[in-house]
Amino acid sequence: MTQPMRDRIVSFKFWKQGGVIAHASDPTIIGRRFDPTDDLSRAWSGEISGSFEDLDHAESAAEAALGIPLLEVYSPIRELWSGDIIAVAEFYEKAEQLEVDMARARRTSWLVVGSAFAASTIVLFSIVAIGDNTIRRQGRLLERRLKESEQMAEQNARLRSRVVEASERYATQTDRFLKKLGSELHDGPAQYLSLAALRLEAAFSDRHEKPAEAEEIQQSLQKSLAEIRALSRGLSAPDIDNLALIDVVKRAIEDHSEHSPLRPGVSLQGSQTIELSVSDKLCVFRFLQETLSNAARYAPNSRCTVICEAHNDRVVIHVNDEGPGFDPSDGKVLRDDGGQGLLGLRDRVESIGGRFEVWSSPGKGTSVTMTLFPRKMSTS
């Protein structure tokens, strides 16, 4: 053993098979037997093995007592010619430098692990922070959009309400105009025609027999008078401004009965004291005027019923008959001529925010329903 080697090796043992010490730097243990350690067994199977500061076996008691860091190395000794393992040499080498190196390696690896951990923490934190910022930004964007949608919905509701108000005013004005036209027809041309008929009658009163031409003129005058009166009646709506819903319904039915044999049954449900605007009442009146006129014309021999339901927030009026019915989906039946027929009625009802429905089918009668949602009292 060289000098520096001798300085580093503090103890050695040569093992025979069976855990017996053949030779050792400590002569007191020569010939003793110890239970083979794992390292010793590995050396017997041909491996060089070693361990650092693992001196808790009985055979290492003396070395452990030295209290210095030791590297324990087992090395198989082979027979030169056969290569068989004939013994195992065990050395205990001072390992202060190794310990220092290991401590440095440990420090370095902790440093590497720590730096890697810190770097990944920073990266993760940045990712989370960026994600968080994105989420906040999108949240703010969504909030803004939501607010804009709410504002838009409010504006739509305001505009819709203004359109309905304008339609109500327009419908009321149109009715006033029609009423005026009806009165003018009644007070003007009808009076002149009536006067002409009277004069004609008077002109031939002294004659025994009226000439045939005079008779024809008289009949034409009477016919024109009847038509103008009917026209005037149809155009004018009664003064319903101060009537309650129930009275408007009754009035429409009475007006209709004056010139029609149809006698509809009436059912009034709910609180009829609900307050309606003038345009709502006019709409009720015109609805009954048209649907009753249709029932009288197209279902003259069948039962007809008017049902008026007044709820807190809406008024529903049904006019049902058990007549021949028709197919409402047939484009040729409902004529869109801007008149007062069912389509004109639909426009009128919907323009003031109401609902209008027609159920009918050939042979199964007809049911026309109008729903109004009175919003406020209007005197316009």
Ligand X SMILES: Nc1ncnc2c1ncn2[C@@H]1O[C@H](COP(=O)(O)OP(=O)(O)OP(=O)(O)O)[C@@H](O)[C@H]1O
Number of Cβ within 10 Å of residue 192's Cβ equals 13
Instruction: Choose the contact partner of 326 out of ligand X, Mg ion, none; CB within 5 to 8 A by kind.
Output: ligand X
Q: Does 298 bind ligand X (CB under 6 A)?
A: yes
Instruction: Choose the contact partner of 366 out of Mg ion, ligand X, none; CB within 5 to 8 A by kind.
Output: ligand X
Report, in Å, the least distance between residue 337 CB and Mg ion: 11
Cβ pair 86, 79 in contact under 8 A: yes
User: For ligand X, which is the closer residue by CB, 75 or 340?
Assistant: 340
Report, in Å, the least distance between residue 371 CB and ligand X: 19
Nearest-angstrom CA–CA distance, 263 and 261: 6
Q: Name residue 92's beta-bridge partners.
A: 11, 72
Query: Which two tokens mark 173?
Result: 């004005």
Q: Does 369 bind ligand X (CB under 6 A)?
A: no
Instruction: Choose the contact partner of 367 out of Mg ion, ligand X, none; CB within 5 to 8 A by kind.
Output: none
Instruction: Choose the contact partner of 340 out of ligand X, Mg ion, none; CB within 5 to 8 A by kind.
Output: ligand X
Q: Which residue has the tokens 């109500």?
A: 168
Query: Which two tokens mark 105?
Result: 């390696």
Stretch that binds Mg ion, among 19-27, 124-132, 164-172, 335-343 (CB under 5 A): 335-343
Nearest-angstrom CA–CA distance, 304 and 294: 11
User: For ligand X, which is the closer residue by CB, 86 or 358?
Assistant: 358
User: For Mg ion, which is the closer residue by CB, 213 or 330?
Assistant: 330
Phi then psi dihedrals of residue 265, to 5 deg: -80, 145
Cβ pair 299, 345 in contact under 8 A: no
Cβ pair 310, 245 in contact under 8 A: yes
The H or E element spanning position 77 is strand 70-78
Output DSSP code: residue 33.
Answer: B
Residues 310-349 that bind ligand X (CB under 6 A): 321, 323-326, 333-334, 339-343
Nearest-angstrom CA–CA distance, 144 and 361: 51
The H or E element spanning position 309 is strand 304-310
Stretch that binds Mg ion, among 6-14, 83-91, 204-212, 337-345 (CB under 5 A): 337-345
Report, in Å, the least distance between residue 302 CB and ligand X: 9
Query: Nearest residue by C-beta to ligand X?
Result: 341
Stretch that binds ligand X, among 2-10, 28-36, 162-170, 295-303 (CB under 6 A): 295-303
User: For ligand X, which is the closer residue by CB, 55 or 252?
Assistant: 252
Q: Name residue 310's beta-bridge partners.
A: 270, 315
Q: Does 189 bind ligand X (CB under 6 A)?
A: no
Q: What is the DSSP string of 132-166?
A: HHHHHHHHHHHHHHHHHHHHHHHHHHHHHHHHHHH
Report, in Å, the least distance between residue 259 CB and Mg ion: 15
Report, in Å, the least distance between residue 321 CB and ligand X: 5
Instruction: Choose the contact partner of 299 out of ligand X, Mg ion, none; CB within 5 to 8 A by kind.
Output: ligand X
DSSP H stretches of helix in the chain? 3-8, 38-44, 61-64, 96-187, 189-203, 212-235, 245-258, 278-298, 342-351
User: For ligand X, which is the closer residue by CB, 14 or 298?
Assistant: 298
How many residues contact ligand X, by CB under 6 A?
17
Report, in Å, the least distance between residue 290 CB and Mg ion: 6
Query: Which two tokens mark 284?
Result: 């009720």
How many residues contact Mg ion, by CB under 5 A?
2
Number of Cβ within 10 Å of residue 230's Cβ equals 11
Closest C-alpha to 20, from 6, 34, 9: 34
Instruction: Choose the contact partner of 52 out of Mg ion, ligand X, none; CB within 5 to 8 A by kind.
Output: none
Mask for 279-318, x = binds Mg ion (CB under 5 A): ---------------x------------------------
Where does this chain bind ligand X (CB under 6 A)? 294-295, 298-299, 321, 323-326, 333-334, 339-343, 366
Where does this chain bind Mg ion (CB under 5 A)? 294, 341
